[in-house]
Structure 1
Amino acid sequence: MKKILALAAVATVALSSCSLYGTRSAAVSGQLKGFSPNQNLGLAIVGFNNGQYTADGTQAQVIDKFLTGGYTLTLPRDVPYGTYRVIVFRDANNDGRFNTGDTVLSRDNGKFLVYVQRDNQYFNGTKYGWNIYNAANRDIQTTILNNYDLEAVAAQ
């Protein structure tokens, strides 16, 4: 069992630091806390601009009604440059996508996924490709994109 856990940890780090077609990092990982299973939970990367989530059906998503524990999610290369968030949502219509009517079940963790075309494009310290920007302390992760933990809102 310990060997399997160690292998999973190494795989997560390897995925987080790999490069695909010029993007610096191709995966984000974190822990999921407080989510109840059996709810048609989904995990999605959605645009986040001007305080609004943007869903156009092209972002990477994982649907698993037993979604609990940790996750590693591959980041897309075919999205516009900008700010994004990973969310947990209830897939109410069972279509396998985050839609405007679906309920977001995760709290705002104060972090943005930032996809930039050039260094320092949106926030000082970001590097070409995917980054994590922590608004609370203005910290930027540019290589290994981990600790993007998601916590459930109080009422599910």
Structure 2
Amino acid sequence: MNREDKRFKFWQKWLTYANVLTIAVGLLVAFAGNSFFFEIHNNYTKDVFLNGNEFETNILAYKNWLFGIIGGTIVGFHILMVMISENSFKKKEVWAYKAMWYGLLSWFLIDSGISIYYGAVHNVILINIVALMLIGIPLIMTQKEFNNRASS
């Protein structure tokens, strides 16, 4: 295996493992959204939406339901990303590279835009930028491989 192939394989595996990690985060969001893992996020959410007050029982139930469906969506999206990374992306199929970027950026822009609109900047900083970097870096680092294929 030459140096370029090793470099690509490193970033392709990073992409897979970053998405596996995000699947784990999605499971935590769905099933442990009130645990210490999300204490900072929940505290900022209380500050933004509840003036720092604790979640009332009905609001907590609503938040838990939202975290459940958000966690499920995170898991499903990133399972797709793993499958693409381990199959078509690994084979350097251009559509896979584009699909990963389109999925990542559409999520980031919509989620971040709505978060900023409602004053939940903490969500952008604590969650969205981290995920964007974790998954975006290997996409940036492998861009040359896909540009070469697209022009062939």
Could you say whether these structures have the same fold, taking a TM-score greater than 0.5 normalized by the shorter chain as the test? no
Q: Flag the structure with higher helix content.
A: 2
TM-score (norm 2): 0.23
Q: Flag the structure with higher strand content.
A: 1
TM-score (norm 1): 0.22
